[in-house]
Amino acid sequence: MKWHLLHPMAVHFPIALLTLGFAVEVLGTRASEKAAWLREAASWLLWLGTASALAAMGLGLLAAKTAPHVPEAWDTLIAHRNAGYAACFLFSLLSTWRIFPRPRAGLFLAGWLICLGALVDAAYHGGELVYRYGMGTAPSAE
């Protein structure tokens, strides 16, 4: 199987789920008690987004072993991998924190924003691999 083809599809799930989850969390902190379901929805988006980020990371590690490599992109590939590790680690911590009694809303939102920063960094380097170096886009004799 061409595992490297699954990673680009999988990465869009954590980006969408975790960004939407942050927006729903912001709405939930400002909503009345009648809209408490927003905070519950944000929790599920966080947990599903974190799980999908871990899956995307696993597929990325497989992709690194099976994708055609571009030697000029090594530094960017390493930065992409490390940012992916950081994002997964931070979102795993945030997801675990969410299980315990509700933290202060502002502190939790700040933590989520930091996690999103790591995710954006990983996505930026991934985009650079594709659009600057053409990694995974060039036709090959597979």
Closest CA to 58 of 3, 17, 12: 3
* pTM score, whole prediction: 0.89
Residue 142 lies in a domain: no
**Torsion 15-13-83-103 (CA) sign:** positive
CA distance 138 to 131: 11
Residue 137 lies in a domain: no
Number of domains forming the structure of the chain: 1
Q: How many residues belong to the chain? A: 142
Reading the chain (142 residues) residue by residue, the pLDDT tens digits are 777 788 989 999 999 999 999 999 999 888 777 778 998 999 999 999 999 999 999 999 988 887 777 889 899 999 999 999 999 999 999 999 998 876 687 899 999 999 999 999 999 999 999 899 888 776 654 4
Q: Which domain holds residue 14?
A: 3-131
